[in-house]
């Protein structure tokens, strides 16, 4: 459906509706890493506008806070402080810029060679599993609240129909929050004290990030998985809209737009942004795919970011309620990695593939650290690099050899 056939009122309603589909994930990331959700809403809206500017307003994609960077930001904050961790997001932008240039120069084939499913799959699994401890730690502060938010999210995801099925995070948090209020576990003092209108910290306390090499280099390998996810999302959005966005405006432009949006998030102190498949699902249901509606969603996000009481209300959500959602969410991320391996028919009977997956997962889960002077890299970033190097160095086996082993 083309939004030119819709009244301005209906366009606005649909745009706000699309924002609510992405709202839960967009505000959950900053709450988990210690950032103000108002800043995340602002950078999500701004990033989406930047993306649409670079892609000539042709691609209906909404950019929101990326879950891939929760664990890296938490780990980087412990080493270099929050300012240093956020400054490291510049490294994420650089990866997008380089990939954009490579795609413009060589096409997508080079990326397929460097980052095949055998590398990306285990990295996505690690993104989910590395956060499992945080999920349990938050949930165990009040298992009753965690169980309620988790159960509601599961029911919405399993039994929901239409657009309601796309907002399990929001439904779970709302249900858990209502019960927490009834139990007297919510402190409304900060909500009452907060002004109705207040600039997000991104604007009221603006200052340029202090660049440092350590967090910059630390974040670079972590960006590999979101980059590959970006490519997949562009293909999916093209299928929903029945247009070839890889050809026009081009994958190099969508990648550049995502990189510039991440850079803007870094400058304003927000979490890195990424393409949101949830909104793509909403477009598939409503059959409304015009980019103008996505821009309305982005504008709404910016408007929401200046509502001071909304930010205070979000920050009053008990950690147990968020923990219950995380138990489902982070496990789901890990399952996406497994699904990635299955969809691309990665043969685990081939010794080479088993080695890459085994070493990548073991180093990531085991907390391996590579140190050199004052610089250290660990976790998902190190595992991604190890997986990529092994993929390039290990000799490839004949597919038939793996099938023969399976038959023995």
User: pLDDT of 79-114, one tens digit each?
Assistant: 888 888 888 888 999 999 999 999 898 877 777 787
How far apart are the C-alpha atoms of 94 and 240, rounded to whole Å? Answer: 29
How far apart are the C-alpha atoms of 138 and 32, rounded to whole Å? Answer: 10
**Beta carbons of 97 and 41 less than 8 angstroms apart:** no
pLDDT of residue 9: 79
> Considering the domain boundaries, does residue 407 fall inside one?
no
DSSP string, 316-334: TS-HHHHHHHHHHHHHHHH
pLDDT of residue 54: 97
* For residue 303, cis peptide bond before it (omega within 30 degrees of 0): no
Per-residue pLDDT for 61 more than 90?
yes
The pLDDT-based confidence of 408 (bands split at 50, 70, 90) is low
Q: What is the number of domains present in the chain?
A: 1
DSSP string, 148-201: HHHHHHHHHHHH--GGGGG-HHHHHHHHHHHHHHHTT----HHHHHS-SB---H
**Beta carbons of 293 and 19 less than 8 angstroms apart:** no
Range of the domain at 128: 3-397
pTM, rounded to two decimals = 0.80
pLDDT of residue 148: 97
Per-residue pLDDT for 8 more than 90?
no
Of 202, 146, 171, 113, the closest CA to residue 326 belongs to 146
**Beta carbons of 274 and 63 less than 8 angstroms apart:** yes
The pLDDT-based confidence of 375 (bands split at 50, 70, 90) is low
**Beta carbons of 349 and 403 less than 8 angstroms apart:** yes
pLDDT of residue 393: 92
β-partners of residue 369 are: 378
> Considering the domain boundaries, does residue 280 fall inside one?
yes
* Whole-Å CA distances, 224 to 167, 184, 255, 351: 27, 43, 12, 24
- How many other CB atoms sit within 10 Å of the CB of residue 313? 17
pLDDT of residue 301: 94
**pLDDT tens figures, 116-140:** 889 888 888 887 787 788 889 989 9
How far apart are the C-alpha atoms of 389 and 371, rounded to whole Å? Answer: 18
Q: What is the mean pLDDT of the chain?
A: 86
Q: How far apart are the first and last CA of the chain?
A: 54
> Considering the domain boundaries, does residue 404 fall inside one?
no
> Considering the domain boundaries, does residue 408 fall inside one?
no
pLDDT of residue 220: 84
Per-residue pLDDT for 407 more than 60?
no
H or E segment at 285? helix 277-286
How far apart are the C-alpha atoms of 344 and 346, rounded to whole Å? Answer: 6
Strands 63-65 and 273-275: antiparallel
**pLDDT tens figures, 155-209:** 998 998 877 887 888 899 999 999 999 999 999 998 999 999 988 887 887 777 7
pLDDT higher at 25 or 341: 341
Q: Residues near 277 by Cβ (< 8 Å), separated by ≥ 6? A: 233, 236
> Considering the domain boundaries, does residue 372 fall inside one?
yes
Q: Residues near 17 by Cβ (< 8 Å), separated by ≥ 6? A: 163, 282, 286
> Considering the domain boundaries, does residue 70 fall inside one?
yes
> Considering the domain boundaries, does residue 246 fall inside one?
yes
**Beta carbons of 299 and 90 less than 8 angstroms apart:** no
**pLDDT tens figures, 65-80:** 988 788 888 888 888 8
β-partners of residue 64 are: 274
How far apart are the C-alpha atoms of 187 and 366, rounded to whole Å? Answer: 38
**pLDDT tens figures, 335-348:** 888 888 998 899 98
pLDDT of residue 358: 95
> Considering the domain boundaries, does residue 393 fall inside one?
yes
> Taken in order 340, 384, 45, 331, is the CA torsion positive or negative?
positive
pLDDT of residue 213: 81
């Amino acid at each position: 459906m083309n939004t030119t056939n819709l009244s301005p009122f209906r366009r606005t309603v649909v745009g706000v509706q699309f924002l609510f589909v992405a709202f839960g994930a967009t505000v959950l990331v900053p709450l988990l890493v210690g950032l103000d959700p108002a800043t995340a809403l602002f950078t999500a809206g701004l990033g989406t506008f930047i993306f649409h500017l670079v892609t000539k307003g042709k691609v209906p994609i909404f950019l929101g806070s990326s879950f891939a960077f929760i664990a890296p930001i938490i780990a980087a904050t412990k080493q270099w402080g929050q300012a240093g961790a956020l400054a490291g997001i510049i490294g994420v932008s650089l990866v997008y810029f380089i990939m954009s240039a490579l795609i413009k120069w060589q096409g997508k084939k080079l990326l397929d060679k460097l980052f095949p499913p055998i590398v990306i799959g285990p990295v996505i699994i690690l993104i989910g599993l590395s956060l499992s401890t945080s999920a349990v730690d938050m949930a165990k502060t009040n298992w009753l609240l965690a169980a309620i938010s988790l159960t509601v999210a599961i029911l919405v995801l399993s039994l929901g129909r239409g657009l309601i099925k796309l907002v399990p995070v929001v439904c779970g948090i709302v249900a858990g929050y209502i019960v927490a209020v009834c139990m007297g576990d919510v402190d409304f003092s900060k909500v009452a004290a907060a002004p109705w209108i207040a600039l997000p910290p991104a604007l009221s306390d603006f200052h340029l990030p202090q660049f440092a090499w350590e967090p910059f280099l630390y974040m670079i390998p972590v960006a590999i998985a979101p980059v590959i996810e970006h490519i997949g999302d562009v293909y999916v959005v093209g299928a929903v809209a029945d247009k070839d966005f890889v050809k026009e405006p081009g994958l190099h432009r969508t990648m550049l737009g995502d990189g510039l949006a991440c850079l803007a998030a870094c400058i304003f102190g927000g979490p890195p942004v990424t393409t949101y498949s949830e909104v793509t699902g909403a477009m598939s249901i409503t059959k409304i795919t015009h980019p103008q509606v996505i821009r309305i969603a982005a504008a709404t996000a910016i408007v929401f970011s200046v509502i001071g009481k909304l930010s205070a209300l979000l920050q009053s959500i008990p950690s147990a309620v968020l923990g219950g959602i995380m138990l489902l969410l982070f496990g789901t991320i890990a399952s996406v990695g497994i699904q990635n391996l299955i969809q691309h028919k990665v043969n685990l009977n081939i010794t080479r593939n088993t080695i890459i997956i085994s070493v990548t997962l073991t180093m990531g889960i085991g907390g391996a650290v590579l140190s050199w002077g004052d610089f250290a890299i660990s976790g998902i970033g190190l595992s991604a690099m190890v997986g990529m190097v092994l993929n390039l160095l290990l000799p490839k086996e004949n597919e038939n050899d793996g099938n023969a082993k399976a038959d023995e």
